[in-house]
Amino acid sequence: MKMHHRVLVITFFIVSFNFYGFSGTIKKDTIAEKIVAKIDSLSKTKSNHKFKKLNTELLLYATTNNNSYYLGKAYKYYGKYYRNNKNSDSAIYFYRNAGNKFKVCKDFKNAGESFIYSGFVNKTIGNTDEAIKDYVLGIDLLESTDAGFWKGLAHDHVGFIFFKQGNYFKALQHYQLAIDEFIILNDNLNIGNLYNKIGITYRKTKDKDKEEQAYLMSIEYLQKTDTTSNLGISFNNLAELYIDNGRIEEGLQLLDNAKYIFEKMDYPKGICGYYAVLGYYYLEKNPPEYQKVIEYMTKSMPLAEEYGDSRQLADATYFLGQAYLNTDNPYKALPLFKKGYKIALDNQLEHERLQISYELYEAYKYINNSNKSLEYLEIYTALNDSLLNENKLKEFTQLDMSFKFKHEQMADSIQQLQKEQQLVFNHQQELLKQYHIKTILFFSLGTVLLVAVFIYLYAKRNRKQAVLLNEKNTIINTALDEKVLLLEEVHHRVKNNFQLVSSLLELQSKEIVDEKALTTISEGQNRVRAMALIHQKLYESDDIKNIDFKDYCIQLIEELVNNYGLGKTIVTEVKVENKNFDIDTAIPLGLILNELIINAFKYAFNDAAENKLSVSLKTHTDAGYILIVKDTGPGLPAAFNIAKTKSLGLKLVRRLAKQLYGTFEYNYDNGGTFSIIFKDTFQIEEIE
């Protein structure tokens, strides 16, 4: 960290010095070249300490000798260092400064490369607008050089950014410009890869003729190179197109070619695409073979996830979700569609997001969730209007992308480029004769003034920010304390109100003679106490949102034993996992527990025998939780149907279990055993 700060301080002085006194020509220097050679030799040893020491020496030497070229070299080295160490902001800062220094000494090749590196880092961290600016600036600087590879690479990256944004017109323009550069270099591998990208782009615009032409061109160029995984990808993409066009045999043959290459190259990411196309084939069959779709997409998804292929992963979730939805499994389809939608949203895959949003609309409509269904229908409509904008379609109709290049046009272009390069070279030779001298005094005074102003403004800003931060923290902490106190007071008052209701019921019961009415009032009191106990636990706890359910169970059982267990020998056993539930889960669960324990006291236990009550709660696979209440009583009658019971308590338990998206079951195992499988609030929200 100290070294990083030291570099920034040195950089500030150097920028100030360069503003007043650096030359505008490339000046090679023997001492600086030795330092550069030492730095280059360290790339194999990866010694960070030696690198920083040598590069700082190069920075200072370049500053002292008024040499923009070596200052640019030092900045470029730092850019590479911070890029390799995942410090993106610092890498961008040094690459851009390197580009500016190389511009000063008219080294346009190094300047262009530096800005392209900055564009690459910005693209990696998702700053697409800044990445495009850097790439375009780098391309402009390289126009007068012979760095065709770098120009082609930059156009390729810019085209891919526009492709991900759904701007297919500009994506095609930059892909074609990249091909123009690589044709001059006779780089068949990059040309083939770019035609494959052009084919994928035309797939999005549904121009199948141009898509096929692009894939064929890709295969033609890639076959001129050694067999690579890229050739397999082109075979795979063309196979998908042929299957989509009904040319099944040709498509399956191409798939076999792709699989052979992927297995030969040990390329799992390609196998992922192979499975995806096979799944698509079975989905498009008439009738579709959904089990085959599920088989192949289930193989494709983990590979796409493992190798970070976001587009392939989004497509796999889309196809697999369709298969489940069409086989009446909406609850398996929904998580897949939601996962695919998030991937498409995070990676700006607008076409995939359009498809998946429509399937989400269909899935939620299938399960009668009208709010969610309408929400995704609106998203689909908005995306569809954006992607099918008439102005964009007109631009595509005006785009005449030709894949056959006339030799006469290429010869003219190369000849014109050579003339321009000669003019630039002559201009550079003229500029090399110029040398500007600035006075040391003016530099010194300017540097001191800049440093003083910088220190003053920095200190002033820090003081102001510290004061504002303290004020905001005080306001936030006060508001938080007030909210906690308010919630505690709410729970306390609700608990008191429940106790008041219980007391009123008890007073009312003293005037009632009818035993059935007294029993009904007593049961109502117990239900109120069960809910009051939850609010008591909440305001007594440090966590005012969640309740320790094990502690709650123990206390509730103690209260019910005191009310119903007088004169009976009762052994209680509580096996509850340490689990906290929020109030929306705890209240219905507490009422369920209250009803089942009272039921045991009333009908299962007698005065003579030793009675045992067992309560357990644990996680139940991935479906949620299971609550079991077991007694040692004689159990319910053999012909008893719990679904048709007229008992208010058991009806209440069924209703509450359904509220928790659960089930209520009874069986006899040396005593009555009641089982409730349920979900908590968070699991219910995932389903909805």
Query: What tokens does 2 get?
Result: 């100290």
- Cα 31 to Cα 11, 65, 70, 91: the distances in Å are 20, 11, 11, 26
- d(C-alpha 342, C-alpha 321), whole Å: 14
Residue partners of 333: CB distance under 8 A and separation at least 6: 321, 322, 324, 325, 359, 363
b/e code 560-580 from CB counts within 10 Å (16+ = b): bbeebbeeeebebeeebeebb
Q: Are residues 270 and 262 in contact, defined by beta-carbon separation less than 8 angstroms?
A: yes
- d(C-alpha 360, C-alpha 376), whole Å: 6
Q: Sign of torsion, CA 91 93 96 97?
A: negative
Which residue's entry shows tokens 């610092």?
A: 90
- d(C-alpha 79, C-alpha 77), whole Å: 5
The closest alpha carbon to 134, from 165, 103, 163, 113, belongs to: 113
Write the DSSP symbol of residue 642.
G
- d(C-alpha 301, C-alpha 280), whole Å: 13
**Upper half-sphere CA count for residue 294 (Cβ side, 13 Å):** 12
Query: What tokens does 348 get?
Result: 């700006």
* Rg of the chain (C-alpha set): 37
Beta bridge partners of 573: 614
Backbone angles phi, psi at 484, to 5 degrees: -65, -45
| pLDDT value of residue 437 | 62
- d(C-alpha 74, C-alpha 306), whole Å: 37
- d(C-alpha 372, C-alpha 368), whole Å: 9
- Cα 568 to Cα 502, 553, 602, 609, 672: the distances in Å are 25, 20, 11, 8, 18
The closest alpha carbon to 201, from 164, 255, 232, belongs to: 164
- d(C-alpha 64, C-alpha 560), whole Å: 88
- Phi-psi label, residue 671: left if phi above 0, alpha if psi -120 to 50, beta otherwise: left
Concatenated DSSP letters of 477-510 = HHHHHHHHHHHHHHHHHHHHHHHHHHHHHHHHHT
Q: Are residues 101 and 14 in contact, defined by beta-carbon separation less than 8 angstroms?
A: no
Q: Are residues 589 and 627 in contact, defined by beta-carbon separation less than 8 angstroms?
A: yes
End-to-end C-alpha distance for the chain, whole angstroms: 48
Cis bond leading into 287, ω under 30°?
yes
**Upper half-sphere CA count for residue 293 (Cβ side, 13 Å):** 23
| pLDDT value of residue 398 | 41
- Rounded to 5 degrees, what angle do the CA atoms 668, 673, 679 make? 135
The type of residue at 120 is: F
- d(C-alpha 27, C-alpha 101), whole Å: 13
- d(C-alpha 295, C-alpha 303), whole Å: 14
Q: Are residues 635 and 672 in contact, defined by beta-carbon separation less than 8 angstroms?
A: yes
The closest alpha carbon to 132, from 96, 159, 114, belongs to: 159
| pLDDT value of residue 430 | 64
- d(C-alpha 678, C-alpha 680), whole Å: 7
Angle between helices 208-222 and 229-244 (to 10 degrees): 150
Cβ atoms within 10 Å, residue 40: 10
Segment holding 570, helix H or strand E: strand 569-576
Length of the chain: 688
Beta bridge partners of 436: none
Residue ranges of the alpha helices (H) in 205-247?
Answer: 208-222, 229-244
Q: Strands 610-620 and 569-576, how do they pair?
A: parallel
Q: Strands 672-678 and 624-631, how do they pair?
A: antiparallel
- d(C-alpha 87, C-alpha 28), whole Å: 30
- d(C-alpha 42, C-alpha 160), whole Å: 34
Q: What are the DSSP E strand ranges found in 416-553?
A: 546-548
Backbone angles phi, psi at 376, to 5 degrees: -80, -25
Residue partners of 255: CB distance under 8 A and separation at least 6: 235, 236, 239, 274, 277, 278
Beta bridge partners of 272: none
Q: Are residues 684 and 660 in contact, defined by beta-carbon separation less than 8 angstroms?
A: yes
- Cα 412 to Cα 107, 148, 239, 620, 662: the distances in Å are 26, 16, 37, 75, 77
| pLDDT value of residue 130 | 94
Concatenated DSSP letters of 265-294 = HT-HHHHHHHHHHHHHHHHHSSS--HHHHH
Segment holding 666, helix H or strand E: strand 663-668
| Per-10-residue mean pLDDT, the chain, length 688 | 47 44 62 86 71 86 88 89 89 93 91 94 92 94 91 94 90 94 92 94 90 93 84 90 89 89 87 87 88 90 88 89 91 92 89 90 90 90 75 47 42 54 62 65 79 84 82 73 58 61 66 70 71 69 77 86 74 87 87 87 76 89 85 83 80 89 88 90 80
- d(C-alpha 568, C-alpha 659), whole Å: 34
